[in-house]
Amino acid sequence: QVQLVESGGGLVQAGGSLRLSCAASGSIFSINTMGWYRQAPGKQRELVARISSGGIANYGDSGKGRFTISRDNAKNTVYLQMNSLKPEDTAVYYCTWAGSPGLYWGQGTQVTVSS
């Protein structure tokens, strides 16, 4: 089993920044792709960003332009730097670890952006 613990969420005004962190622990046998999804109330989860073990990043539409994903393999930790936040970024942000056959999910961290 792999456990994922997110941190760094909170309340921020529009235009501000937050940095989310997610630490993976447990039965980790390899360095796998990790990522971030988000889910706003009444909406399905959507991909924000993901990053391979080699540091290659891919962004969903919601994460392009203002967000940056990074990782520290030695710490089994992935980060999401969010800048120029907008109210529409308000959501629960979930960390993922690409296990087999599917993703492992964290419990999520709330990000609320006020106008």
pLDDT per position as a tens digit, 62-83: 888 999 999 999 999 999 999 9
pLDDT of residue 63: 83
pLDDT of residue 57: 97
pLDDT of residue 87: 97
For residue 30, pLDDT beyond 90:
no
Q: What is the amino acid identity at position 78?
A: V
| Cis peptide bond upstream of 101, omega within 30 | yes
Q: Distance between alpha carbon 39 and the CA centroid of its chain, in Å?
A: 11
pLDDT of residue 40: 96
- 106 pLDDT band (50/70/90 cuts)? very high
User: Which of 89, 105, 88, 87 lies closest to 97 in space, CA to CA?
Assistant: 105
Longest pairwise C-alpha distance within the chain = 43
For residue 98, pLDDT beyond 90:
yes
Mean pLDDT of the chain: 94
- 12 pLDDT band (50/70/90 cuts)? very high
The token pair that represents 29 in the structure block:
């046998």
Q: How many CB atoms lie within 10 A of CB 34?
A: 26
